[in-house]
Chain A
Amino acid sequence: MSITAGRTRGVLFAALLGLSACQVGGPVTGSAPTSAAPGIFGGPVNAETPPVNVGTLTDQPGFGELIPGSNVRAGFDIDLQRWLGNHAPHRFLPVHVDLTIDDRIRALQEDRVKLVVATFSITDERSKKIGFAGPYMITQQGVMVRAGDDRIQNMDDLTGKTVCTLSGSTSLSQLKEGTLKDQINVIEKKGYKECADQLLDRQVDAISTEAISLEGFAHRDPTRLSVVKNIRFGAQGRFGIGLRHGDVATCEVMTAKLKEFITSGSWDIFFDQHFPGLQSELYKPDPNNLNPCE
């Protein structure tokens, strides 16, 4: 081998080293990866309005209710799903998948649904498992009693009472760990209707969950149910759209659409339609301060 050939090989080797260094230099930024999963609205869609499974509730008046015997769904969450289907960058047809409160996270993790729009409170704990876009509604925990029952007027009156709430909800956590910890008897049920039935049957003294959800029940049956106006406690319930964990692309699309939903006036129309008589300002989020997608 000649010296020139050997030298050329050395130079080539050095060049290869440099190239490999440049190649290695790209991804090693130490920063966390962004969206790994493709967004459901990001790619090209063949069908004009492809179906998208959306998790929803069936027993929550005002938000998501399947009216018995008619197969008709109604509520703020149902209207929001349809609005998103019509206004997303790629239109989609929401296919309602009935979920219970306790099943919402699992449905997303098992990919049974792409979205969950079901009075789903955003929490830091849940954000470790799934993603959220929002919030689209802000409320606080409240208490509902039988109409005419004036035994419970404030927080102190709850001491020693039996309170029904939903298993797997943030309301349960707040009753067990908040200011009412060890002061009340907590009954867990899987659905709102079961709690309402127990309340009307006088098996429990009150129902406690997000105040806006209780308002839906009270609005549906005002002669038998009543929300205690003076009781609001615990952390804010900030309803968001549940997404798969790490789906930043869909989160960004949903967040942008929620901002449009709130600023366009659609939010007020749907709110007034399902919660007439309530002050919308108390529940309306700041469209310019929605949660960032991570």
Chain B
Amino acid sequence: MMVDDLARPRIRRREASSPISDPLVSDPLIIDSLITDPLITVSMIAAIRSPSHRHRLLASPWVDYRQYDRPARSSSDARHQHLTGLATTRRNSDSPSCDRTNVTSHRAPGKVRAHEVSEISFKGHQKQEEMSDQKQEQHSESNFLTQFPRGQLKWFFSILAITAAFTVWLLTKDAKGSEIASILSLATTIVSTALTFLMFLYQNTSKGNRKGIPPGNPRRTSRLLVPLAAIVLGAGVPIYYWTEIHKPNSRVTDQMSVFNGKAMHDGGQATITIPGRPPQHDHLAIVLTLTNHADVGDCVRPAKLDITPIIDSTPVIDGRPEQLTSVRPGQEVRLDLSDVTRQAAVLVTLDTPDPSCRVELRVSQAVLYN
């Protein structure tokens, strides 16, 4: 191993103009946005994808709507039409002719009264239809299951892949991902709300053209669960990994305690304790700032801060004690805490050209991350 390699500290510095950009992540914000954004996004894709001229603006792409455009052929549709007609008839049942009409239409032999014949006939017909309906439902369910791998599985995995990829991409962007998610959520929320509103308007104005659409179709509901399941899986698995296994970055700025940092002078030392015994993450990104409370003195800009991590009460960097690195105020420094077994701290030594300077050391930003 080269001497240079030995001397290379495990502290990394970043430019002062870019104070902590990567590890300063607001994970809750990202996850909050991630939970809403993919749902909205995919629902928009589904909404736009479905044929709008058939009054299905926000309908699911998993529903075969062509069946509703055909004349009612299934027992369910027939029953629906029959019941609709019956209801209409019953609403007019005050008229005796209506009863006669029913008797005539369901005539039965023997002593049975005409209206009883009609009722029996209707009940029998209803029973037959219910049995037929159950068969049809079973047939329909089997169709759904058999068609799922061919048509819907493709959509399921497409949405799963898109959602998961988008979620992972946003998570890896850290703070930037949070901002992207926030910005996108506004646009998608506005557009999806507008589309929803338009859909309802369109549905209300085209009721007469959709006699074949049954309200609350169970197949439609069940098929809506497919994209929902894809979204939940696509977003949920990465979020679970990020929060439970990888562990999100932890902003600990307010938990950093600074000792002897109120009025530092040239050569003065302050100690900053890192929360956690040991810290729950492997790295710390920290930005330190100086404040000159006096009206005079050029103290902050020319100052340098010598940083020495103290691992388990011992100033150590890469196994070599008493090594340090210098950063400017406002410049990010990253410390390796992976070897901490009990407690970690940071020793800061002020180096300023003007010995008369008195400055206050503050922790501007601190994030524990893996």
Quick check: B298 and A17 within 8 Å, CB to CB? Answer: no
Quick check: B295 and A24 within 8 Å, CB to CB? Answer: no
Considering the chains assembled together, what is the distance between the CA atoms of A123 and B162 in angstroms? 54
- Contacting residues of chain B (295-315) with chain A, CB-CB under 8 angstroms: 295-302
Question: What 1/0 flags go to A230-244 for Cβ under 8 Å of B?
Answer: 000011101010000
Q: Which residues of A contact B179 (CB under 8 A)?
A: 24, 28, 30
Quick check: A235 and B297 within 8 Å, CB to CB? Answer: yes
Quick check: A24 and B184 within 8 Å, CB to CB? Answer: yes
Which residue among A7, A10, A13, A294 has the maximum number of chain B CB atoms within 10 Å of its CB? A10
Quick check: B298 and A121 within 8 Å, CB to CB? Answer: yes
Question: What 1/0 flags go to B12-43 for Cβ under 8 Å of A?
Answer: 00001111110010000000000000000100
The one of B16, B61, B294, B298 in contact with A135, judged by C-beta atoms closer than 8 angstroms, is B298
- Contacting residues of chain B (268-321) with chain A, CB-CB under 8 angstroms: 292, 294-302
Considering the chains assembled together, what is the distance between the CA atoms of A2 and B242 in angstroms? 40
Question: Is B356 at the interface (CB under 8 A from chain A)?
Answer: yes
Nearest A residue (CB) for B191? A13
Question: What 1/0 flags go to B184-221 for Cβ under 8 Å of A?
Answer: 10011000000000000000000000000000000000
Question: Is B53 at the interface (CB under 8 A from chain A)?
Answer: yes
Nearest B residue (CB) for A124? B292
- The answer to whether residues A31 and B298 also contact, given A14-B45, A25-B176, A235-B356 and a CB cut-off of 8 A, is no
Considering the chains assembled together, what is the distance between the CA atoms of A177 and B292 in angstroms? 14
Quick check: B302 and A235 within 8 Å, CB to CB? Answer: no
Considering the chains assembled together, what is the distance between the CA atoms of A25 and B17 in angstroms? 18
Q: Using C-beta atoms within 8 Å of the partner chain, give the interface range for chain B.
A: 35 or more
A254: shortest Cβ distance to chain B, in Å? 14
- The answer to whether residues A7 and B49 also contact, given A24-B183, A127-B301, A236-B354 and a CB cut-off of 8 A, is yes
Quick check: A294 and B180 within 8 Å, CB to CB? Answer: no
Question: Is B46 at the interface (CB under 8 A from chain A)?
Answer: yes
A265: shortest Cβ distance to chain B, in Å? 23
Question: Is B350 at the interface (CB under 8 A from chain A)?
Answer: no
B186: shortest Cβ distance to chain A, in Å? 11
B168: shortest Cβ distance to chain A, in Å? 13
B29: shortest Cβ distance to chain A, in Å? 13
Question: Is B353 at the interface (CB under 8 A from chain A)?
Answer: yes
Considering the chains assembled together, what is the distance between the CA atoms of A138 and B183 in angstroms? 49
Quick check: B295 and A123 within 8 Å, CB to CB? Answer: yes
Quick check: B52 and A1 within 8 Å, CB to CB? Answer: yes
- Contacting residues of chain B (45-99) with chain A, CB-CB under 8 angstroms: 45-46, 48-53, 61
The one of A13, A123, A174 in contact with B298, judged by C-beta atoms closer than 8 angstroms, is A123
Question: Is A32 at the interface (CB under 8 A from chain B)?
Answer: yes
Instruction: List 6 A-B residue pairs with CB atoms under 8 Å apart, sorted by A's residue number.
Output: A10-B45, A125-B292, A173-B294, A286-B353, A294-B16, A294-B301
Besides the known contacts A17-B188, A28-B183, A291-B301, 9 further A-B residue pairs in the complex with CB atoms under 8 A apart: A3-B51, A21-B169, A30-B20, A30-B175, A125-B295, A127-B298, A177-B296, A235-B356, A294-B301
